[in-house]
Structure 1
Amino acid sequence: MGAIWGSIEWLYTILAVIPILPFAIVLFVYGAYIRDRKKAITMAIDVSNAFFILCVAALFNILFDNDFGLYGILLVMIIGGGLLGNAQFRKRGTVDVKRVFRAVWRMSFFAMSALYVVFMIIMLGRLLFTVA
């Protein structure tokens, strides 16, 4: 049982450190299965966003030497959902929670992708240019 759990941990670690891998895997496997490129891209975005969130939170915690990364990301997502829900309520009179959640989740994918690139560049620069 320990070997199976170790393999699962190893696989998750690889996928979390390089969140582009789950995106590519889901895009190609799911795309080959359903043969609809648009659905494959949205599924890849939805799946890989969880890995991007966890990776960006970990990079934030390492860079700024605190434990607020994941909580900050979730706080911004909740505030964004509240703002979108309020705008939807003012425009339509009702709130479609599923639609608001999907919008926040997909917008956070693009924000997390950008933050991932920025934080990785900073981490690599810090790793390469720090004098020991």
Structure 2
Amino acid sequence: MDAIVQWFSQIYSFMAVIPFIVFIILWGILYGITKDKKRATRTSMDVTAVLLIGSVSMMIKQIFGTSFGFWFLLLFFLVCAGLLGNLQNRTKGAVDLAKIAKVLLRLGFMLLSVCYILLLVIGVGKYVYIS
């Protein structure tokens, strides 16, 4: 069992290093199977958002020397989930967790993509000018 967990951890680590390449490859595979651009894009965004969480939190750890990045992202997603749940409860009278998860993953993809690019530029600049 430990070997399986370690294998999945290594696969996740490899894919999290290059999340946008994974996005493009996954989009191509899904579009080839479904022939639906919208569905391929949405599913690729959802998977890449999960990869970006790990990437951005590790970049924060490397650049700023703190391990608070993951916990900050988790807190951000939990607060957003609470706000979306409150909004759904007020407007529709019920909370749809699947819809909240979809919105969070797609919002997370957009925000974490910007954070990824920004942290990548900062990290490269720090490496070039400090080394």
TM-score if structure 1 supplies the norm length?
0.88
1:113 corresponds to which letter in structure 2? S
**2: distance between equivalents of 1:106 and 1:122?**
24
- Residue matched to 2:84: 84
Q: Is the 8 A contact 2:81 2:100 kept in 1?
A: yes
**1: distance between equivalents of 2:102 and 2:124?**
32
- Residue matched to 2:45: 45
**Deviation, structure 1 residue 14:** 3.5
2:54 corresponds to which letter in structure 1? L
**Deviation, structure 1 residue 10:** 6.2
- Residue matched to 2:63: 63
**2: distance between equivalents of 1:57 and 1:39?**
28
Cα distance change, pair 10–103 in 1 and its aligned pair in 2 (3 A): closer
Q: Deviations over 1:57-116 (max 9, x none)?
A: 000111221111111101100000000111111111111111112111110111110000
Q: Deviations over 1:8-67 (max 9, x none)?
A: 776544421111111011100111111101000011111111111100000011122111
TM-score if structure 2 supplies the norm length?
0.88
More relative contact order, 1 or 2 (CA 8 Å, 6+ apart) = 2
Q: What SS does the corresponding residue of 1:95 show, helix, strand or coil?
A: coil
Cα distance change, pair 7–94 in 1 and its aligned pair in 2 (3 A): closer
Cα distance change, pair 63–32 in 1 and its aligned pair in 2 (3 A): same
- Residue matched to 1:15: 15
**2: distance between equivalents of 1:102 and 1:6?**
28
Gaps of 5+ in 1: none
Cα distance change, pair 82–15 in 1 and its aligned pair in 2 (3 A): same
Q: What SS does the corresponding residue of 1:84 show, helix, strand or coil?
A: helix
Gaps of 5+ in 2: none
**1: distance between equivalents of 2:41 and 2:77?**
21
